[in-house]
Structure 1
């Protein structure tokens, strides 16, 4: 049994070319060489390996692989990288020209420009340890970085980012042909579909593997009520939201506006008389709500063939890299190439939306999938060239976004520092599109918790509604947003235009979310107490927010004398004069005469 328990020197394979993970662009092969972003540790018994380490050049999730000249049936293996431990019975996963690849199932997380030590115990006769970017962590060559940075740092983009940072709260809307089905296809709920994939309603076409022609028939009955635009915009305003983002085209390829480059849209394929996106845009502007559109650019199950899966897989197999098929139409792909789809539909539709919506605030790209670094950059540049005031989301690909999202229903820890302004996108139940039988609604207090927790960490909250096929918003969703709006209206000074304070929260530990499935499976069991506070800041002011009705005496430990000299304290939504004192231990406020609001309160603390 070979036991390796040493620290190895890393060799970056920037000069070794084994293949490419690119795809065809305008008839030419774009060559992306992923090995320059790998760390490869060569195991050589003739070297002194006792005091060596490796430097991670990039941050994100990485997969650990062992390369050997030998085949073994199963080998219990343990690996540790700076405290991150993996234990698994490894089996052969890939055969490549240079040997046999064994791979740990769970990824590790690395930080950029950080030194790491690694120890390994295994019976595999290892000749290389490969640390490969996880499929959710594509890393580019840096070829387009300076061009992107010049655009990102332009006065127009920076002004738009200042608006985004102050906006804090927005409405996400997932709406399309799938909304009519409500998560059910031919009497079967999506959870019981025969094929793998996300069980959220807007993915209906994929886990049921519905042929394109059959799915297209949904368009013949898609005829929403004309009141939808006013209803959506008014609810967003009532909820205290400052912006709205709607799915102009989801992965199913159907456009909710009149597109000149495709007949698969609301005007040409449905009985509806009008343009949904344009109507909602106008309604939002009338209500003072800024407007954004979601657009699935890499995945299009109607016109985007297999999402370039076959080409990428062919090259990845040579390298011993997993190619994930999720989100790719492998059951009934269109006959064109993926590059043709981009040139003939995706790029033109982005330009159409920018022309149709001159006051557009942002484009929320999604489904970057297997687009290349060059293609992701071209999407960003296309937006900038047509309207430099429009922000671009992270999911355009290859870190070309103007701002980040933490992930679907993902709330990061207060200890995690984001490199750009960011938002969390969340749902009011457990699906994004309308799911007729999903009654697991988050309470108003739970949603307020996510909101102020995100605020305290410096982020925005983009909270989703899923209207049905007629455009009706589920009553439970509308009610909770309305109740949030009442709290936000009273405490708006603690929300809009604020930044992160030195301390994010005090009291109980964070209740984090790691995804839509996490909340659906585990529920929400947090019990709030009078000791829980979340903080934001603005100039010389700090805001402390609570989700509990006040006790007669309020103690905020983070605001004792060590925090600075306090000049004044104000209860938001009230003009009454407060009695308070700042001790070495805490800020103590007399709240005996306060109204006992069920969902809590916020106080403004003004420092000298």
Structure 2
């Protein structure tokens, strides 16, 4: 009883100290705020790109990475410098006619099949611990009734429904954390094009604060920062408000996209995208800061009707991606792109289901773990990954080993087990080296598909 009371007192003191810290509107102060611990423990989240761009839902599949993004449809139509400018215009003029304006697509953003509770079940079944929805992409269309987006939001036009609010309620009721993606800039907003300062003060700032106070998100994930430095966006002013005054000041997680100089330098978690290398890109590296990789199941974030099976990662590939990111100390934010009528495409549901099945067996090697400090360097050819939790080490094999596995720099474990397997696992060796002899696994006793995990208890 005494120990329990002491623990509760410590937790209360810790929470109080965290909440009493006051942050100033400068990067030195803002960067001193720790990333809330829940994020690094969660490891796996689902990104959702959904908006007016989900109506044309088209992009070429043979272009460079960024040019494959279907959510950039409007911009690609009007940017003659874009590599795919002609592709988009040829498709658009052939399909809709050259006089058909992008704004007219909103009539097709009907969302009549959107069932928030059903979505939440799919998302929870994936094993993800948090969700990040595009509240507003670069097109400026908001999925909530934003006063700053009059007649260009999902309540005034299109589905006539608070999509952000409905999904947030369902996701939180399912026990997951809910977050929002928010684009700082808007491609064709007249105020942004004419007076950035006025846009920030009268449009962006009140819009962001409304989103936070209305839905109390666990994550505020910004983007579209690259045209201006953070000073222009008044990013530190907003973050000081978020950390000091907002209803989510203690638990909210933010990313690093707050100005053209901030990625992998300032903010909260660092972000990579399709494993592209930024200042401290993730490819093959362990980043010494909380970080997250975002990517789609296919080549696009927004739903792309032009993609076929060959453009989608398999369940095996997605599980390897998750393992790779977690073994290097990061999280995976895996994107789905719903359709304009409000469905999660079946192929995406199937991939999420498979990941959930795998995590149901092997989740303890993912959730709450950290990168093993003595892990060998990770490359594209790596087949054996390591995570650790306390004194336990997890050895994750993306192919079932056909020979013994040698693990160096560990103590003799108190127990070695293959997660989900009822039989025993034999080992040999002493001192700092340990040899794991894989058991005989058959279709009848195989614990999972795609990747297998050996747990070494008290090996560190």
Quote the residue 2:249 is aligned against.
388
Give the direction of change, closer, same or farther, for the CA distance of 1:303–1:346 in structure 2 (3 Å limit): farther
Q: Does 1:537 align with 2:388?
A: yes
Q: 2:10 — aligned with what?
A: none
**Residue in 2 aligned with 1:178?**
53
Select the residue among 401, 407, 412 that pairs with 1:565. 412
Distance in 2 of aligned mates of 1:344 and 1:481: 40
Tell me how far 1:171 sits from its aligned partner: 0.2
- Which structure has the larger Rg? 1
User: Contact 1:212 / 1:302 at 8 angstroms: preserved in 2?
Assistant: no
- Give the equivalent residue in structure 2 for 1:498: 369
User: Per the alignment, in what secondary structure is the counterpart of residue 454 of structure 2?
Assistant: strand
Equivalent residue for 1:430, pick from 295, 299, 302:
299
- Confirm or deny that 1:556 pairs with 2:405: yes
Q: CA deviation at 1:593?
A: 5.0
After superposition, the C-alpha distances for 1:515-534 in whole angstroms (9 at most, x for unaligned) are: xxxxxxxxxxx7x8xxx210
SS in 2 for 1:269: coil
Q: CA deviation at 1:146?
A: 8.0
Q: What whole-Å deviation, never above 9, does each CA across 1:526-565 have from its counterpart, x for those lacking one?
A: 7x8xxx21000011100001122354xx5222x24x4222
The within-5 A match list for 1:10-159 is 147-154=26-33, 158=34
Q: Deviations over 1:84-133 (max 9, x none)?
A: xxxxxxxxxxxxxxxxxxxxxxxxxxxxxxxxxxxxxxxxxxxxxxxxxx
Corresponding position: 1:249 with 2:110: no
Counterpart-to-counterpart distance in 2, 1:446 and 1:590: 23
| Equivalent position to 1:346, from 181, 204, 218 | 204
Highest RCO, 1 vs 2 (Cα 8 Å, sep ≥ 6): 2
1:161 matched to 2:36? The reply is yes
**Cα deviation code 1:420-467 (max 9, x no counterpart):** 200000110101101101121111111111110111100000000011
3-state SS, counterpart of residue 295 of structure 2: strand
Report the Cα distance in structure 1 between the residues aligned to 2:146 and 2:166, rounded to whole angstroms. Answer: 15
C-alpha displacement of 1:382: 3.5
Superposed CA RMSD: 2.8
2:312 is matched with 441
Distance 1:489 1:227 in 2: 27
Deviations 1:347-375, CA, capped at 9 Å, x for gaps = 111011111112x1111100102233322
Q: 1:275 to 1:502 in 2, by over 3 A?
A: same
- Paired position in structure 1 for 2:72: 203
The whole-number CA distance in structure 2 between the counterparts of 1:304 and 1:582 is: 69
Match of 1:291 in 2: 178
Q: 1: CA distance between counterparts of 2:143 and 2:78?
A: 22
Aligned to 2:153: 265
Task: Quickly say closer, same or farther: Cα 1:190–1:567, change in 2 above 3 A.
Answer: closer
Residue 6 (structure 1) aligns with? none
Please give the secondary structure, in 2, of the residue aligned with 1:233: helix
Matching residue within 259, 266, 275 for 1:400: 266
Specify which of 377, 380, 392 is matched with residue 236 of structure 2: 377
* Pair 566,371 (structure 1): closer, same or farther in 2 beyond 3 Å: same
Q: Larger helix proportion, structure 1 or 2?
A: 2
Shift in Å, 1:583? 4.9
Work out the number of aligned pairs and report it.
399
Any idea what the Cα deviations from partners look like across 1:254-285, whole Å, max 9, x if unmatched?
00101122211111122x23200000000101
Gaps in structure 1 of 5+ consecutive residues: 1-143, 307-335, 512-525
Please give the alpha-carbon distance, in whole angstroms, between the structure 1 residues aligned to 2:139 and 2:31: 30
Deviation at 1:151?
Answer: 4.3
Q: Does the Cα contact within 8 Å between 2:401 and 2:438 map onto a contact in 1?
A: no
Contact 1:580 1:589 survives alignment (8 Å): yes
Query: TM-score of the superposition, structure 1-length normalised?
Result: 0.61
For structure 2, the residue ranges without an aligned partner over 5 or more in a row are 1-22, 80-97
CA positional deviation for 1:246: 0.8
Deviation at residue 343 of structure 1 after TM alignment: 1.5
- Residue in 2 that maps onto 1:73: none
Superposed structure 1 runs of 4+ greater than 6 Å apart: 210-213
Answer yes or no: is the 8 Å Cα contact 1:505–1:533 preserved in 2. no
Determine the C-alpha separation between the residues in 2 that align with 1:230 and 1:410. Answer: 34
Relative to its length, the structure with more strand (as a share) is 1
SS at match of 2:149: coil
Where do residues 437-586 of structure 1 align in structure 2 (5 Å cutoff)?
Answer: 437-439=306-308, 440-505=311-376, 510-511=379-380, 532-551=383-402, 554-557=403-406, 559-560=407-408, 562-583=409-430, 586=434
* Partners of 1:297 and 1:366 within 8 A in 2: yes
Q: Which residue number corresponds to residue 331 of structure 1?
A: none
Correspondence for 1:301: 188
Aligned partner of residue 54 in structure 2, secondary structure: helix
- 8 Å contact kept, 2:426–2:437: yes
Secondary structure of the residue aligned to 1:240 is coil
Do 1:394 and 1:404's aligned partners in 2 also have CA atoms closer than 8 Å? yes
Q: How has the CA–CA distance of structure 1 residues 253 and 579 changed in structure 2, closer, same or farther, with 3 Å as cutoff? A: same
Give the 3 Å change call, closer, same or farther, for CA 229–339 of structure 1 in structure 2: same
SS in 1 for 2:423: coil
